[in-house]
Structure formats: structure tokens, C-alpha cells
Amino acid sequence: MNMKIKMKKLAVAATMAVCLLMFAGIASAHVTVQPQEVPAGSYQVMSVRVPSEEKGTTTVKIQVKVPDQIKVSRVEPKVGWKYTLEKDAESKITSITWTADGTGLSETEFTDFRVNGKVADDAKELVWKAYQTYANGTLVEWVGGDGADKPASVTMVTAAEAGSDGHGHGSSAGAADNKSGDTSVSSGDTGKAETGTDSGSAGAAETAADTNANAGDDYNATLPLVLSIVAVALGAIALVISLTRKKR
């Protein structure tokens, strides 16, 4: 009898642990910047992925501090959002803030904001600090270190590619931008995606395509793990039921 009781307790504990792991993985969506690894001295299209998590409200603003070791030269227009830039005394972009024109992102949505820039030749890593604002006034600061509850996204910088002229890109869209090198952002410190214009529509379509592709990749990579966890959880629950019936 004692052995059965111990087995039952172990099964219950295992079930609880598995469930906690399952829901922890689902709830831990962070603001991230892709790609997570780039060569030094290269031109890259960096994508800031913003998931909205707060229940009963929406994400209406996201501010990203640009790391010192990357020079951002362009910001992709995004329909439904406007952006403002902060620059230092040398006109280098130090911060980008995207603000929703409408209601923003609900708790089941995410979006990507893309920028083009050149990684410094001596860069080691790029730390992207982000500040996410919700419609109810909640501010989430993604600025912590590795292992923190709300970590800043980090892009590791590898050695420059042999024989490369530094014109590598994180996506095909960057290849087109690269033709003009690190040309500064055109007029003014404030930009806005024009809904219905050719450039705005093209940017939105391209972003949507990349978003869908990335989402599909994430889904395909996660599905086997989720199914395995569910199988283990169901097995543990079945064991508990079996032991309970035997006891009766």
C-alpha cells in the first residue's frame, strides 16, 4: 500500500511538472531581434519581433535602443504604424520608436519591424534594449541580462567573412538596400508609412510574407516538442488514474 501511495504522489508531481513546462514555454514570448548571429562589418536587415502578451489591452508603442556597434541607415515603412528617430550629435540613429496609428496589437498578435544597417568591424555583440508600452499604461522593459525574466535580445557578432566586402544581408530585401551602402535616412527624424501608397503596400506585403514564413518555421520546429510533452503528460495522467482505481 505504501508503495502505491508513493507511486501515486510521484505520478502527480510528474504531471504537474510537465504541465508547468508546457505553459511556461507558451507564456515566455519575448521581444527579439533576428538574425541572432551576424558577421562583423556586414550590412544586415534586422527584424524586431514584438509579441503582445497583456490580457485585456493592446501594445501601442515599442521603443528600441540601437546598439552602439551598428549604424542603422534605413527603417522599413509599416502600414498602421509611424516611427520617430532619435539621433546623437553626429546624426547616428540611437533609438527608434514605433507607435500604432490605431488600436495596436492584441494579446494574440505579434509583428515585425525591420531596419537596415552596418555592423561595426570591431563589434562583438549587439544588445537590443526594448521598451514595450500597452494601451493601459503598462510599460515592459526588455533590458535584462541572460537568464533574466525580461531579457534584452542579443545578436552575437562573428568574425568577418573571408573575401567578403561587408555587403552581407539578413534577407533578400537587404540586398536591394545595400546598393547605396550606409546612406543616412532621408529628410527629417520622423517617418510614417503611407497607407495605400506603392512603397507602403510593397513594404507591408514583404513584411507579411517574411512574418508568415518565420511563423511557419517556428511552428514546424515547436510542434514535435509540444506533441512529445503532451504525450508524456497524458501518460502520467493515465498512470495516476490506473493507480487510483487499483487502490479502490
Domain map (residue ranges) of the chain: 2-26+217-247, 31-193
- HSE (side-chain half, CA atoms, 13 Å) at 172: 5
pTM above 0.75, yes or no: no
Residue 197: the pLDDT is 35
Residue 29: the pLDDT is 77
- HSE (side-chain half, CA atoms, 13 Å) at 222: 9
Residue 221: the pLDDT is 41
Helix ranges (DSSP H) in the chain = 2-27, 172-177, 198-247
* pLDDT, tens digit only, all 248 positions of the chain: 566 565 556 555 555 544 444 444 444 579 999 999 999 999 999 999 999 999 999 999 999 999 999 999 999 999 999 999 999 999 999 999 999 999 999 999 999 999 999 999 999 999 999 999 999 999 999 999 989 999 999 999 999 987 665 555 554 444 444 444 443 333 344 444 333 333 444 444 444 444 444 444 444 444 455 566 666 667 667 666 666 666 55
Q: 73-86 burial string, b = 16+ CB within 10 Å, else e?
A: bbbbbbbbbebbbe
Does domain 31-193 bear CATH number 2.60.40.2230? yes
- HSE (side-chain half, CA atoms, 13 Å) at 42: 24
Residue 138: the pLDDT is 97
Asked whether 35 and 243 are in contact (CB, 8 A), the reply is no
